[in-house]
Amino acid sequence: MGRKDSMSSLEAIRASIDDVDEKLVQLIEERAELVQSLIAIKGARGLTARIPEREEAIVNRLYQRHGQYFERDELQSIYRPIFDACVRMQLKK
């Protein structure tokens, strides 16, 4: 494989990574829309915006399914800002 072939492969892989990044953000936005649906239900049931046990269960489930690529702490670091943003959205209402 020549240098030109490896560069085009590198560019193709980077373009694929960019596509995945776009999909990730779209999925995070979809998650935020679902959280918007939860706001009224949680309010009617008197539930707080943050439920640490639920957050812990999410991270644990993801770690059990995807632990071959990510350490549990890494998944928690990825999800903490998402959880924080979702709590912020709920508190604005």
pLDDT, position 61 = 97
Q: Which CATH number fits domain 3-92: 3.30.1370.140, 1.20.120.80, 1.20.59.10, 3.40.50.620?
A: 1.20.59.10
Give the pLDDT confidence of 24-73 residue by residue, as tens digits: 999 999 999 999 888 889 888 988 889 999 999 999 999 999 889 999 99
Residues 5 and 62 sit within 8 Å (Cβ to Cβ): no
pLDDT, position 43 = 84
Give the pLDDT confidence of 6-24 residue by residue, as tens digits: 768 999 999 999 999 999 9
**CB atoms inside a 10 Å sphere around CB 47:** 13
In this prediction, residues 69-86 reach a mean pLDDT of: 95
Residues 34 and 82 sit within 8 Å (Cβ to Cβ): no
For tokens 């991270």, what's the residue?
59
Is the overall model pTM greater than 0.75, yes or no? yes
